[in-house]
Amino acid sequence: MTAPNLDVVAIGNAIVDILSQADDAFIAEQGMAKGSMQLMFSPAEADALYAKMGPGREVSGGSAANTVAGVAALGGACGFIGQVADDQLGEVFAHDIRAAGIRFDTPARAGDPTTARCLIFVTPDGQRTMNTFLGASQFLPEAALDRGLIEAGAILYLEGYLWDPEEPRQAMRAAIDIARAAGRRVAFTLSDVFCISRHGDDFRALMADGLIDILFANENELLALCGTDDFEAAVAKAARDVALLVVTRSEQGAIAVKDGVRSAVAAEPIDKVVDTTGAGDLFAAGFLHGQAQGHDVETSLRIGAICAAEIISHYGARPEVDLRALVAAKLKG
Determine the Cα–Cα distance for residues 18 and 46; give it in Å rounded to an integer. 11
Eight-state DSSP code of residue 165: S
pLDDT, position 72:
98
Average of pLDDT values for 63-90?
Answer: 97
- pLDDT (tens digit, 9 = 90+) per residue, 291-310? 999 999 999 999 999 999 99
When pLDDT is cut at 50, 70 and 90, the band that residue 94 belongs to is very high
Determine the Cα–Cα distance for residues 17 and 287; give it in Å rounded to an integer. 23
Across all residues in the chain, what is the average pLDDT? 94
Q: Quick check: 316 pLDDT over 80? A: no
Q: Quick check: 273 pLDDT over 70? A: yes
Domain ranges of the chain: 6-13+62-112+138-331
pLDDT, position 85:
97
Lowest mean pLDDT among 24-38, 67-81, 182-196, 294-308: 24-38
Lowest mean pLDDT among 44-48, 142-146, 317-321: 317-321
Neighbours of 328 (CB within 10 A): 15
When pLDDT is cut at 50, 70 and 90, the band that residue 41 belongs to is confident
- pLDDT (tens digit, 9 = 90+) per residue, 217-270? 999 999 999 999 999 999 999 999 999 999 999 999 999 999 999 999 999 999
Q: Parallel, antiparallel, or unpaired: how do β-strands 214-218 and 261-265 relate?
A: unpaired
| Nearest residue to 61 via CA among 3, 115, 124, 107 | 115
Q: What are residue 21's phi and psi, to 5 degrees?
A: -80, 150
When pLDDT is cut at 50, 70 and 90, the band that residue 275 belongs to is confident
pLDDT, position 1:
64
| Nearest residue to 314 via CA among 326, 303, 302 | 326
Sheet containing strand 153-159, edge to edge, reads: 103-104, 78-81, 6-11, 153-159, 185-189, 214-218, 244-248, 254-258, 261-265
Tell me how many degrees the CA angle 40-43-103 measures, rounded to the nearest 5.
85
Residue 20 near residue 53 (C-beta atoms within 8 A)? yes
According to DSSP, the residues that pair with 262 across neighbouring strands are: 257
Residue 327 near residue 286 (C-beta atoms within 8 A)? yes
Average of pLDDT values for 175-196?
Answer: 96
| Fold classified for 6-13+62-112+138-331 | UDP-N-acetylmuramoyl-L-alanine:D-glutamate ligase (3.40.1190)
Residue 211 near residue 158 (C-beta atoms within 8 A)? no
Average of pLDDT values for 32-45?
Answer: 88
Sheet containing strand 56-61, edge to edge, reads: 37-40, 128-133, 116-122, 15-21, 56-61
- pLDDT (tens digit, 9 = 90+) per residue, 155-174? 999 999 999 889 999 999 99
pLDDT, position 315:
76
Taking each helix axis from N to C end, the angle separating 63-73 and 279-292, rounded to the nearest 10 degrees, works out to 50
Q: Quick check: 95 pLDDT over 90? A: yes
pLDDT, position 149:
98
pLDDT, position 14:
96
pLDDT, position 264:
98
Q: What is the largest CA-CA distance in the chain?
A: 57
Between 317 and 133, whose confidence is greater? 133
